[in-house]
Amino acid sequence: MNNSKFNSIISELGQLTDKQSRELEIALQAQDPIATILRQIESRLIEHPECPHCYSNTINRHGKINKTQRYRCKNCLKTFVAT
């Protein structure tokens, strides 16, 4: 989305009804349940790192794919995601 279109949307927010404003606020605050679960799984891997292939606890971050963090085992050199 370009800046002019974004600014146009922002300027129109003042014209929303009270009901529309509340619905927008609820929609913006709502958290995606799948994203919440993925964050929990990711934090568990950070707290207790372990390769799913060789069970080594020496892993490194190895880039991202589709906004998902990848990891690489220092022992077996295989890559994996938290899920």
pLDDT of residue 72: 95
Q: What angle do CA 55, 35, 42 make, to 5 degrees?
A: 20
pLDDT of residue 76: 96
Which whole-number Å values give the CA distances from 76 to 5, 25, 38, 61, in the listed order? 49, 47, 25, 14
Q: Give the model confidence (pLDDT) of 15-73 as tens digits.
A: 888 888 888 888 888 777 887 888 888 888 888 899 999 999 999 999 988 878 899 99
Residue 1, pLDDT above cutoff 90: no
Question: What is the rounded CA–CA span in Å between residue 47 and residue 59?
Answer: 12
pLDDT of residue 71: 94
